């Protein structure tokens, strides 16, 4: 069986930057998981004594706080700063961009539409930058727009890890519904590249392995895309979750990885698949 890696996969710029920042601040604590990858979080804890606080109340009890790649709500950031905490901001620049757009466009009188998952930490942070939260709306489907009290001017941004095709469905529906629409494509380039290369490989593969955190939005998107082209597509966090049955009578095993998946985890998965293939 041949094993082939997607031409673009794994760590994006924002994740690399966040890990470097965390490593430069040993014995600090991240507010929420720095990235959606448990193995990398455990490595940072073991090698750099990086702690983890899960709630705002816990964040108030530590002195040095690393802000996760997904960002945090604006009011929490301001309050922690006012309390004199050392704040190390590892928010991905691609996430900071929609925060700034939402803040500016809402001040300019635009209704805000955010395409994304309302329960995702990135979106919780982005929406908090709206001047008036009553005029900021989070949607996943174009059909949801019909129920919203939108003004005649709308600005729309997207969660950084969403599919461009799904974003365009909402944009097109808005254009037909609202007099003025300002569209800001805030989907990350690395997301485009990883998704396109995973799709290309999945079309040729007999089995696809997508590596990444089960709570990672971009990893779940990759798995969904691969599943469209290769029915035998599986999402694993690490090599321990591989099932030898997946590789029986397969000729080409394709591998992709989410933006929060480190190379050392990918390599362990590849090494394990090679051992399975020899059994």
The pLDDT value recorded for residue 149 is 97
Rounded to whole angstroms, how far apart are CA atoms 117 and 91?
18
Angle at 195 between CA 227 and CA 237, to 5 degrees: 65
DSSP string, 78-109: HHHHHTT-EEEE---HHHHHHHHHHHHHHHTT
Global pTM value: 0.86
Helix (H, G, I), strand (E, B) or coil at 137: strand
In a structure prediction context, what are the per-residue pLDDT tens digits for the chain, which is 279 residues long? 999 999 999 988 999 999 999 999 999 999 999 998 999 999 999 999 999 999 999 999 999 999 999 999 999 999 999 999 999 999 999 999 999 999 999 999 999 999 999 999 999 999 999 999 999 999 999 999 999 999 999 999 999 988 889 999 999 999 999 999 999 999 998 888 999 999 999 999 999 999 999 988 889 999 999 999 999 999 999 999 999 999 999 999 999 999 999 999 999 999 999 999 886
**Catalytic residue IDs:** 122
Give all domains of the chain, ordered by start, each with its CATH number.
2-9+189-278 (3.40.1010.20), 13-91 (3.40.50.11270), 94-183 (3.40.1010.20)
């Amino acid at each position: 069986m041949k094993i082939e890696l997607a031409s673009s996969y794994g760590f994006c710029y924002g994740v690399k930057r966040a890990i470097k920042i965390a490593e430069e601040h040993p014995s600090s604590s991240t507010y929420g998981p720095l990235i959606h990858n448990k193995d990398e979080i455990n490595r940072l804890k073991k090698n750099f004594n990086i702690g983890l606080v899960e709630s705002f109340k816990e964040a108030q009890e530590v002195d040095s706080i690393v802000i996760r790649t997904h960002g945090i709500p604006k009011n929490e950031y301001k309050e922690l700063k006012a309390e004199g905490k050392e704040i190390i901001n590892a928010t991905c620049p691609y996430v900071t961009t929609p925060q700034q757009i939402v803040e500016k466009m809402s001040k300019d009188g635009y209704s805000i539409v955010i395409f994304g998952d309302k329960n995702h930490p990135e979106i919780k942070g982005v929406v908090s930058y709206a001047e008036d939260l009553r005029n900021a709306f989070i949607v996943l489907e174009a059909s949801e727009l019909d129920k919203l009290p939108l003004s005649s001017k709308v600005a729309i941004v997207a969660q950084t890890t969403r599919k461009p095709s799904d974003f365009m469905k909402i944009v097109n529906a808005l254009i037909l519904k609202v007099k003025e629409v300002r569209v800001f494509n805030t989907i990350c380039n690395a997301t485009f590249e990883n998704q396109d290369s995973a799709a290309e490989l999945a079309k040729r593969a007999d089995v696809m392995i997508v590596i990444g955190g089960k709570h990672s939005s971009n990893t779940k998107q990759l798995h969904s895309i691969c599943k469209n082209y290769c029915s035998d597509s599986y999402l694993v966090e690490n090599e321990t979750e591989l099932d030898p049955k997946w590789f029986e009578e397969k000729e080409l095993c394709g591998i992709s990885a989410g933006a929060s998946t480190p190379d050392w985890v990918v390599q362990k998965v590849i090494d394990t698949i090679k051992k399975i293939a020899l059994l």
